[in-house]
């Protein structure tokens, strides 16, 4: 069977598109890794080859993101939902280790994923509270970023073990263009979910206490999450015993998601999915070869500008529910203003091999996820279709109205 394929024009939100060259190399390595007679998925997670994959991936990630010496990189099984839980328990333990008391985690909710993160933290019994929910400020709908004044007064008046936000909400198409400056200057540890915009642009890692990113949206396959954490947080977690945490009413982290334990064992305390990690590493190498995050950021900006400008050109036909200052560069969400055309849009797009455009089931409409691996050519084809569909169907509606 050939490993060649026609380049897909796929806009699914996750699991998402990966570079064909990455998949081709991964397919070969799955059968016979480094000509050793075994596939990479068959080797021991404690072997030298597996350890090298872990180290290579960490090194390439540090290079791309310019990770400072103050931070550590590690990997955990699972996805963002696992991160909702272990971020809450570990960060509250860190605060207890540093201050000898507990404090709540504060959540800035700008979409369904930040909301789910808060709900999981509360379900586990950790101290958690919503600092602000953007839909309470926007007529019950997500689509804006709250002003700093809506949450900074709370942060200044009360101690928090961390403040949590989701930098890019895949369902609602809302993205923080930068971290809020007031939050950065507050001194509270920032915990951020970067699952769907990780490595799409340069960031200042030093501003974050903890970054987590599920791989399946922008950098790999489902089943693995990367973490970048301040080393001081790891030290603070290690200062507090399980009994002390119990006495303070802070739920313990399962040992497989206890951050200091995972880091001490180089991400291999339990069986890390090496094949999945290897694909991440191949993606990282691909990014480095293309010029790093500066080059990727420039390409992403070009793709985003093209698609949004085309949709905006037909503002009488397409509705874009997200404020312009926080439109996601990764997940472009939109609906059709004219009823009864959704199925037609979907079918005609598919006839042009433009797939993965259906919106999340909770909001409907359409969503074009233009992650790193989605080519500029694919976005050009989508923009052309979006333009033509609006012109044809607006004209048909106009003609029908004139006959009435």
What SS3 class is residue 43? Answer: coil
Same domain, 360 and 213: no
Q: Per the residue annotation, which of 58, 113, 176, 230 is the catalytic one?
A: 113
Instruction: Give the residue numbers spanning the domain of 205.
Output: 24-288
Same domain as 298, residue 279: no
CA–CA distances in Å: residue 94 to residues 238, 240, 384: 8, 8, 51
Can you count the helices (H) and strands (E) in the chain? 13, 14
Q: Report the alpha-carbon angle 137-169-177, nearest 5.
A: 80
Check whether residue 203 and residue 64 sit in a common domain.
yes
Cis peptide before 330 (omega within 30 of 0): no
Q: What is the DSSP letter of 330?
A: S
Which of 217, 230, 236, 281 is the catalytic position? Answer: 217
Together in a domain, 212 and 125: yes
In a domain? residue 4: no
Do 321 and 268 lie in one domain? The reply is no
Show the beta-strand stretches assigned E in 54-159.
Answer: 71-77, 105-109, 128-133
Q: How much is the pLDDT for 396?
A: 65
**pLDDT value for 404:** 45
Residue 359 · residue 365 · CB < 8 Å: yes
299 shares a domain with 268 = no
Catalytic residue, from 127, 193, 197, 236: name it.
193
Instruction: Pick the closest to residue 194 from 98, 296, 282, 83 (CA basis).
Output: 83
Measured CA angle at 142 (ends 137, 148), to 5 deg: 50
Q: Is 29 a catalytic residue?
A: no
Q: Are 292 and 331 in contact (CB under 8 A)?
A: no
Q: Check residue 177 and give its pLDDT.
A: 96
Catalytic site includes residue 176: no
Identify the CA nearest to 270 among candidates 87, 88, 82. 82
Distance CA 286, CA 218 (A): 13
Boundary of a domain, candidates 273, 288, 303: 288
DSSP 137: G
Beta bridge partners of 168: 175
C-alpha 4: how far from its chain's center?
29
Q: Are residues 260 and 184 in the same domain?
A: yes
Note whether 209 and 254 are same-domain residues. yes
Structure tokens given for 43: 């080797």
Instruction: Return the DSSP state at 358.
Output: B
User: What's residue 401's pLDDT?
Assistant: 47
| Residue at a domain's end among 288, 323, 354 | 288
Q: How far apart are CA 126 and CA 245, in angstroms?
A: 11
Say what the pLDDT of residue 364 is: 87
The C-alpha R_g of the chain, in whole angstroms, comes to 22
CATH classification of the domain holding 309: 3.90.1150.10
Looking at the fold, whether 117 and 254 belong to one and the same domain comes out as yes
Owner of token pair 């939902």: 81
* Predicted confidence pLDDT, tens digits, the chain (404 residues): 789 999 999 999 999 999 999 999 999 999 999 999 999 999 999 899 999 999 999 999 999 999 999 999 999 999 999 999 999 999 999 999 999 999 999 999 999 999 999 999 999 999 999 999 999 999 999 999 999 999 999 999 999 999 999 999 999 999 999 999 999 999 999 999 999 999 999 999 999 999 999 999 999 999 999 999 999 999 999 999 999 999 999 999 999 999 999 999 999 999 999 999 999 999 999 999 999 999 999 999 999 999 999 999 999 999 999 999 999 999 999 999 999 999 999 999 999 999 999 999 888 899 999 999 999 999 999 999 999 999 999 876 545 444 44
Instruction: Return the pLDDT at 226.
Output: 97
> Does residue 12 fall inside a structural domain?
no
Q: Examine the domain organization and report whether 103 and 48 are in the same domain.
A: yes
β-pair partners for 148:
none
**175 contacts: CB under 8 Å, gap ≥ 6:** 167, 168, 169, 197, 326, 327, 328, 329, 330, 331
Whether residue 228 is found in the same domain as residue 121: yes
- 163 by DSSP, 3-state: which? strand
The last residue of one of the domains, among 244, 273, 288, is 288
Query: In sequence order, what are the residues at sequence separation of 6 or more whose Cβ sits closer than 8 angstroms to the Cβ of residue 74?
Result: 58, 226, 227, 229, 259, 262, 263, 266, 267
**Residue 74: Cβ within 10 Å count:** 22
Cα 286 versus chain centre, distance: 19
Structural domains counted in the chain: 2
The CATH number of residue 187's host domain is 3.40.640.10
Q: Are residues 55 and 130 in the same domain?
A: yes
Which of 90, 86, 126 shows the shortest CA–CA distance to 106? 126
Q: Across the chain, which distance is largest between two alpha carbons, in Å? A: 79
How far is Cα 302 from Cα 286, in angstroms, rounded to an integer? 19
């Amino acid at each position: 069977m050939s490993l060649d394929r026609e380049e897909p024009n796929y806009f699914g939100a996750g699991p998402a598109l990966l570079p064909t060259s990455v998949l081709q190399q991964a397919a070969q390595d799955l059968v016979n890794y480094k000509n050793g007679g075994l596939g990479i998925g068959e080797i021991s997670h404690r072997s030298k080859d597996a350890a090298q994959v872990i180290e290579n991936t960490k090194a390439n990630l540090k290079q791309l993101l310019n990770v400072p010496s103050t931070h550590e990189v590690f990997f955990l099984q699972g996805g963002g939902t696992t991160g909702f839980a272990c971020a809450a328990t570990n960060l509250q333990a860190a605060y207890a280790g540093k201050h000898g008391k507990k404090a709540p985690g504060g959540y800035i909710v700008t979409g369904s994923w930040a909301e789910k993160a808060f709900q999981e933290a509360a379900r586990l019994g950790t101290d958690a509270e919503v600092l602000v929910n953007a839909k309470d400020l926007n007529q019950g709908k997500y689509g804006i970023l709250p002003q700093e004044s809506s949450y900074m007064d709370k942060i200044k008046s009360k101690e928090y073990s961390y403040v949590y936000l989701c930098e890019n909400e895949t369902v609602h198409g809302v993205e923080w263009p930068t971290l809020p400056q007031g939050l950065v200057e507050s001194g509270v540890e920032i915990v951020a979910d970067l699952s769907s915009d990780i490595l799409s642009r340069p960031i200042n890692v030093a501003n974050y206490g903890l970054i987590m990113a599920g791989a399946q949206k922008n950098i790999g396959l489902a089943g693995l999450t990367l973490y970048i954490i301040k080393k001081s947080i790891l030290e603070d977690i290690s200062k507090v015993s399980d009994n002390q945490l119990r006495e303070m009413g802070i739920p313990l982290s399962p040992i497989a998601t206890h951050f200091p334990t995972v880091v001490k064992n180089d991400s291999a305390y339990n069986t890390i999915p090496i094949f999945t990690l290897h694909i991440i590493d191949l993606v990282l190498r691909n990014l480095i070869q293309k010029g790093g995050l500066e080059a990727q950021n420039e390409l992403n900006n070009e793709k985003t500008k093209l698609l949004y400008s085309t949709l905006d050109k037909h503002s009488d036909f397409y509705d874009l529910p997200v404020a312009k200052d926080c439109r996601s560069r990764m997940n472009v969400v939109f609906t059709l203003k004219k009823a009864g055309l959704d199925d037609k849009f979907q079918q005609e797009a598919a006839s042009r091999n433009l797939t993965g455009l259906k919106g999340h089931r909770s909001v409907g409409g359409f969503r074009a996820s233009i992650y790193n691996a989605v080519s500029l050519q694919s976005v050009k084809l989508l923009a052309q279709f979006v333009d033509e569909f609006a012109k044809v169907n607006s004209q048909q509606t106009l003609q029908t109205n004139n006959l009435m």
